[in-house]
Amino acid sequence: MKHTLSVLVENKPGVLARVAGLFARRGFNINSLAVGITEDPDISRMTITVDAEEHPIEQVTKQLHKLINVIKITDLDPDRTVARELALVKVKSDAKTRAEVMQLAEIFRASILDVSKKTLTIEITGTYEKIDALEQLLQPHGVVEIVRTGRIAIERGEK
């Protein structure tokens, strides 16, 4: 099962290494990781996605809590969470296919960042699945490179 952990940490050197090291030691593979500062510049948020069963994820969460620089951990409930990723996709496209690729991008509400004679670079924001869907549609044209951020997520509602 995929979990999205939202982890508030002190914005201090070495914190990322401690958190990442803990996952590695306990045998977890981090699917994605996004780090950025929060509304409080002394505090950063890490959004970590991992595949794991309930018991091991509880254990890793407890171990994470033991890190002095970790302030709060939330295992986000997918039904009550809005999650987004961003991807930059460089796809092969010349004068003949440019219109078609641009149309695909438009359907996905993606934007064109760069155009060259033989390529288009597309920026897309959305859920993991949406980005996968666009990528699959672009594959037949030839994806040169794809760069994805980790997932970021926020709980719905007032809190």
- Name the residues that contact other proteins, by CB under 8 A: 9-10, 13-14, 17-18, 21, 25, 59, 62-63, 65-71
Q: Which residues pair with 91 in a beta bridge?
A: 120, 143
- The number of angstroms, rounded, from the C-alpha of 140 to the middle of its chain's C-alpha atoms is 24
CB of 39 to other proteins, least distance (A): 15
Look at residue 119 and give its three-state secondary structure: strand
CB of 17 to other proteins, least distance (A): 7
CB of 145 to other proteins, least distance (A): 30
C-alpha 72/C-alpha 61 separation (Å) is 10
Q: Which residues pair with 47 in a beta bridge?
A: 6, 34
Q: Which is nearer to other proteins, 56 or 142 (CB)?
A: 56
C-alpha 135/C-alpha 87 separation (Å) is 10
Q: Which is nearer to other proteins, 13 or 27 (CB)?
A: 13
Q: Which is nearer to other proteins, 70 or 153 (CB)?
A: 70
Single-letter amino acid, residue 6: S
Q: Which is nearer to other proteins, 37 or 113 (CB)?
A: 37
